[in-house]
Structure 1
Amino acid sequence: MGIFSLLTLMLACGHVLTSQIYGGREAAAHSRPFMALVVRKLPNESIEYCAGFLLSEWFVMTAAHCEASWYEVYLGLHDFNHPEDAQIIAVDETFPATGYNRTTLSHDLMLLKLNSKVKFNRKVQPIDLADPNDKPPEVCMVFGWGFFKPGSKELSPVLKEANVTLTNIECEEDFYCSKGQSGPGEGDSGCPLVCENEKVYGVVSKGTYPDENGERLYEYSMISNKMGMMH
């Protein structure tokens, strides 16, 4: 049985990687206890960031394109400049979804197995994945510490969130999509798409450059149809 199955039992053209909450607002401190900041060291020794979310005491989910040679996960974090109360845990193993394609970003999902057990508390709690039988979502939220201004290379000091409305227009197969001036951006790859029933339906994967109206198309890799497809 694959890692993804074990966890289940326990509980467009012009695309750019969405690795920033545009047009969002600061989340209430520790109101999203499932959120994880994923710090990743690349082979060239540079440090970059993704988001993720907690599924269990041992596993965090993120986007498969958040590849790295080394990871550290921050849980229970709100203010990036004050990580004193966060649980900081290294990653032991990574499990990208079977069929992940680096070019198209299909199956852009990955589990991170932590090297020590998470301690649940008020600031650190897991979140449920949507069931295949749950109704298709319409209104959702995204979260992250990503670059909070277009063109910026500075992380948001605090966790931000934004509302998004899903659309099928221009949407690729196996993705949920939203379009507008508010949504995720650089540094937010891997963050959860959380919808009306407080379950995760997708993972932030990619987006387009702004059109003439300043709107972007954001794409979220579907989770429910990838059950059992993790290495």
Structure 2
Amino acid sequence: MTRATHRFLLLHLLTCLGLHALGSEIINGRNVPKNSMLYMASVQNDGVHKCGGFLINEHFVVTAAHCKHPKLSVVLGTHNLQKVDNKSMRYDVKTCKFPSYENVEKGDDIMLLKLSRKARLDNKVQPIQLQKTKMRDESNCSVAGWGYTITGGKPDNVLKAVDVRIVNQKVCKEKWGENLPAKAICAGGYGTDKGFCQGDSGGPLVCSGKAVGVVSFNYNKNCSYPNKPNVYTDVSKYLEWIKKRNRC
């Protein structure tokens, strides 16, 4: 069989099957190129990945408050968690939860991690800017992490990302009711098979190159995306507190 004939038959097969033939790539996300998302951080407990996070300057990483554990550390500068140089990539941290945080349902699910030493910014590590205003509905964004690729699965060693859209706040409120925190933003996980899963908590919702939200929770830890949007802490509501980070 010639190469041209093989290409024709493959294209014909995919056309017959429809777009769902490539669905697994959407559900599980895509591998992130090594030269992108240089702000991503793996937040680890006793050396094991627990949550995502994102670098905002040489001294601080932002993550979710519910990610706090006794022996936290942060890994910067890698897309594959099996390739970590503990001497140069791992940082001990001091935790600084938002003062009023109690649990994810009540909101304020945001935490600063002060690095034990200044992060070295280079072609593998760079901070991300924070969004200062509210995003428009249906804005195209992305979320990334090393979390589960299916419900009840296990973390992935390779950083993955998936595209999601901002859900109208009124719609999100209708779906979640009183369980939606006041300072939250919703994206993905509703009317779509795109979104985050366990192990992605604390990672950033990124729109137009800026961090807009912090991964907080989904519906009953169901990553198959039923009828409720994914919920993020709205970064723009915490800018003043973040500015006072030197108090941590």
Provide the TM-score with structure 2 as the length reference: 0.74
CA deviations 1:45-73 (Å, max 9, x no partner) are x9551000001111000000001112111
Higher mean alpha-carbon deviation, 74-83 vs 60-69, is at: 74-83
Residue 24, structure 1, aligned to residue 33, structure 2: no
In structure 2, the partner of 1:207 is: 218
In structure 1, the partner of 2:23 is: none
- Tell me by how many angstroms 1:150 deviates: 1.8
1:76 partner letter: G
- Tell me by how many angstroms 1:22 deviates: 4.6
In structure 2, the partner of 1:198 is: 209
- Tell me by how many angstroms 1:99 deviates: 1.9
Alpha-carbon spacing, 1:100–1:226, altered in 2? closer, same or farther (3 Å): same
Hey, what's the Cα distance between the residues in 2 that align with 1:36 and 1:213?
A: 25
Q: Percent identity, please.
A: 33
> In structure 1, the residue corresponding to 2:237 is in which secondary structure?
helix
In structure 2, the partner of 1:142 is: 143
The structure, 1 or 2, with the larger RCO (C-alpha pairs under 8 Å, 6+ apart) is: 1
What stretches of structure 1 move > 3 A for 4+ residues in a row?
Answer: 134-137, 209-216
> In structure 1, the residue corresponding to 2:229 is in which secondary structure?
strand
Hey, what's the Cα distance between the residues in 2 that align with 1:211 and 1:73?
A: 25
* Consecutive unaligned residues in structure 1, runs of 5 or more: 1-20
- Tell me by how many angstroms 1:149 deviates: 2.0
Structure richer in strand, relative to its length: 1
Structure richer in helix, relative to its length: 2
Instruction: Look at both structures and tell me which one has the larger radius of gyration over its CA atoms.
Output: 2
Residue 33, structure 1, aligned to residue 38, structure 2: yes
1:199 partner letter: K
Residue 183, structure 1, aligned to residue 195, structure 2: yes
- Tell me by how many angstroms 1:102 deviates: 1.3
Provide the TM-score with structure 1 as the length reference: 0.79
In structure 2, the partner of 1:101 is: 102
Asked if the contact 1:98–1:229 (Cα under 8 Å) also holds between the matched residues in 2, the reply is no
Structure-to-structure mapping, 1:146-165, within 5 angstroms: 146-152=147-153, 154-165=154-165
- Tell me by how many angstroms 1:217 deviates: 2.2
Hey, what's the Cα distance between the residues in 2 that align with 1:103 and 1:200?
A: 19
